[in-house]
Amino acid sequence: MSLIFYVIPIAILAEPESRTIAAKAFGSPVGISPRIFAFLIFTILYIPFPFVFWHAITIAMKTHDDGNGLGSIALLVDLFEVGKRHPSLRRSQFFVFGGLAYFVLICLTWIVYCSIRGM
């Protein structure tokens, strides 16, 4: 799952249209291609996500084992409650919430950055 969420944006970076967006967003930092720079930044920022996905799947499997549904709402409710029922999953709960906060921070930072650059 984490590989799919990594490959899709990388494939988008390989598209010719992304060259102009990357050049507009990053210019030519440290003398390398803006697309290569975007690839490196994305790769570095993506490092925690395989761990987040692993912990999220661990919680989803425990939700399934407990007989709860695997729908979106059931998983979200269980994400808030799993630490109470299964103390051994509190670490996973922390990782998933931390990953969500990290993702929101990255998105907000990108929005502010693009606003400052006039994109």
Shared-domain flag, residues 78 and 52: yes
Q: Are 94 and 82 in contact (CB under 8 A)?
A: no
pLDDT given at position 54: 92
Shared-domain flag, residues 40 and 88: no
Rg (CA), the chain: 18
For the segment 36-60, what is each residue's pLDDT rounded down to a tens digit? 888 888 889 999 999 999 998 888 8
Q: Domains in the chain: how many in total?
A: 2
Shared-domain flag, residues 55 and 82: yes
Shared-domain flag, residues 56 and 87: yes
End-to-end CA distance of the chain: 31
pTM value?
0.79
Shared-domain flag, residues 58 and 37: no
Burial, 84: exposed, middle or buried (Cβ in 10 Å; 0-12, 13-18, 19+)? exposed
Residues near 27 by Cβ (< 8 Å), separated by ≥ 6? 34
Torsion of CA 17, 22, 27, 32, to 10 degrees: -100
